[in-house]
Amino acid sequence: MAKQSGVEATYDVVARHRNRTVLECKGRCLVLNGQESTAKMHHAAPFSVRLLKYQDNQDASESPLDDCQLTPLLPASYCTESDDLTTPSRQVRACIRMELDVHRLNNIDGWLWIAGRLTPPRPLHHQLLLSREIFITEQMDMHLVWTTGRIFIKPIPRFLLEPCFWIQYLCCGPECDCSNGEPHSQGSVQECECRRLWKCALGFLFSYAALIRHESDFFTAKDKHLLPEEVEWSGWISFVEQLNTEHIYPDIDPRFYHGELRLSRLNKIYRLSQTPLLGYMAHWNQYAAFFQDNFAWLAGTTVYVALVLTAMQVGLATDSLKNNDAFQSASYGFTVFSILGPLICAGLIVLTFCFIFIFNWIMTGIKKRSRLRHIRPGPDHRSSIA
């Protein structure tokens, strides 16, 4: 048989690997004539190239990994909704939900156009041209959020680069209505949750396809530890090609329709619609910063008022204005305003501080009692231990 070219041989291996994956995963991927259905992709991994390397040197032509090999791809630990520290091996799907959680952005989905354009994020080299320093975040809802001089980027979790992990934990099962191309019903809550996580994960990978476009972007990502060390540039090219980014929008979470999101506008949106006192991200980590920020603008306003009063004094010394009734009335009103305005503003700042302090005190007390009830065993539990 004639020898295949390099490209043809590569795609032949990928096709054989994908067919065997379907067989060994017991129908969890829908296959039509050896190819994935293009109508519904959420029941299959969106790529087949294997970028990660393993100790046994498995490549894309070998059998899929088992659970013992997939679990180490997850973080070492994570914090549950009840603030308990646990390992992913106990609740794999719960860990994935925490890793891919963008519910805060979904809550304001209708307003995200104010915080960011409906375009893919700009590549990493351009972020550096904008004098933005890359800050690592492990929160998915902080990924690609930027503020003055910095942008937050979440590194790619290793488990999102393994096709077998997608099939095992992110793809809908054959019993799910999503796999049949039908609207999800009330009896398929778990499967629809898988679909939601699948779309969020694919949207995240899509954002990286935009961030790493050139080889310079690739080496910047490696330098900032945004990619696993063993990922190679040639493999990344194949990976991005298989994502089919040109027609990806129906298959990703709406959050990733938007590229970079401005933090200051997210804070304003959240203060107006969700949490008036907190915003999207805490702006003041201590009360001294609160007073410093608020009294800074008050001081600037006071300087401007002083300049206006000085100008009015000069005007009152002139013959043309000292007998002008309108100017006399304006000077009188502005003089009263310059006395009362700063006092009122300072009072409002102090009042706001008192309100925030009392609110934080109450919430801290509630959290303390709730946490202690969770941490300390009750009498029945103590007797059972004894």
Q: Which of 36-40, 171-175, 307-311, 320-324 has the lowest mean pLDDT?
A: 36-40
In which element (H, E) is residue 383 found? Answer: helix 379-385
Q: Considering the chain, what percentage of its residues have pLDDT values greater than 70?
A: 78
Residues 224, 74 contacting (CB under 8 angstroms): no
Given a cut of 80, is residue 154 above it in pLDDT?
yes
Number of domains observed in the structure of the chain: 2
pLDDT tens, position by position, 239-270 = 999 998 999 999 999 999 999 999 999 999 99
Query: Strands 261-262 and 145-147, how do they pair?
Result: parallel
Instruction: Name 351's Cβ contacts closer than 8 Å, sequence gap at least 6.
Output: none
Same domain, 150 and 239: yes
User: Considering the domain boundaries, does residue 260 fall inside one?
Assistant: yes
Calculate mean pLDDT across residues 83-91: 86
Of 248, 273, 298, the last residue of a domain is 273
User: Considering the domain boundaries, does residue 63 fall inside one?
Assistant: no
Calculate mean pLDDT across residues 95-110: 93
Of 243, 273, 303, the last residue of a domain is 273
Same domain, 217 and 245: yes
pLDDT tens, position by position, 132-144 = 999 999 999 999 9
User: Considering the domain boundaries, does residue 55 fall inside one?
Assistant: no
Half-sphere exposure of 282 (CA within 13 A, CB side): 8
Query: Highest mean pLDDT range out of 92-96, 175-179, 253-257, 333-337?
Result: 253-257
User: Considering the domain boundaries, does residue 117 fall inside one?
Assistant: yes
Same domain, 104 and 159: yes
Residues 136, 225 contacting (CB under 8 angstroms): yes
Of 208, 240, 273, the last residue of a domain is 273
Residue whose entry in the numeric block shows the structure tokens 């005190």: 361
Same domain, 168 and 134: yes
Same domain, 204 and 324: no
For residue 228, the enclosing domain spans 71-172+192-273
Calculate mean pLDDT across residues 69-77: 86
**pLDDT band for position 162 (cuts 50, 70, 90):** very high
Q: What sign has the CA pseudo-torsion 113, 119, 120, 122? A: negative
Same domain, 347 and 298: yes
**pLDDT band for position 178 (cuts 50, 70, 90):** low
Whole-number pLDDT of residue 379: 57
Whole-number pLDDT of residue 175: 67
User: Considering the domain boundaries, does residue 185 fall inside one?
Assistant: no
Same domain, 305 and 265: no
Residues 327, 280 contacting (CB under 8 angstroms): no
Given a cut of 70, is residue 41 above it in pLDDT?
no
Q: Which of 28-37, 138-147, 152-161 has the lowest mean pLDDT?
A: 28-37
Given a cut of 60, is residue 179 above it in pLDDT?
no
User: Considering the domain boundaries, does residue 56 fall inside one?
Assistant: no
Q: What is the pTM of this model?
A: 0.75
**pLDDT band for position 352 (cuts 50, 70, 90):** confident
Same domain, 295 and 268: no
Same domain, 319 and 227: no
Given a cut of 70, is residue 382 above it in pLDDT?
no
pLDDT tens, position by position, 313-327 = 888 888 788 788 888
Torsions phi, psi of 157, nearest 5?
A: -65, 145
Q: Which of 93-97, 122-126, 209-213, 375-379 has the lowest mean pLDDT?
A: 375-379
Whole-number pLDDT of residue 384: 43
**pLDDT band for position 38 (cuts 50, 70, 90):** very low
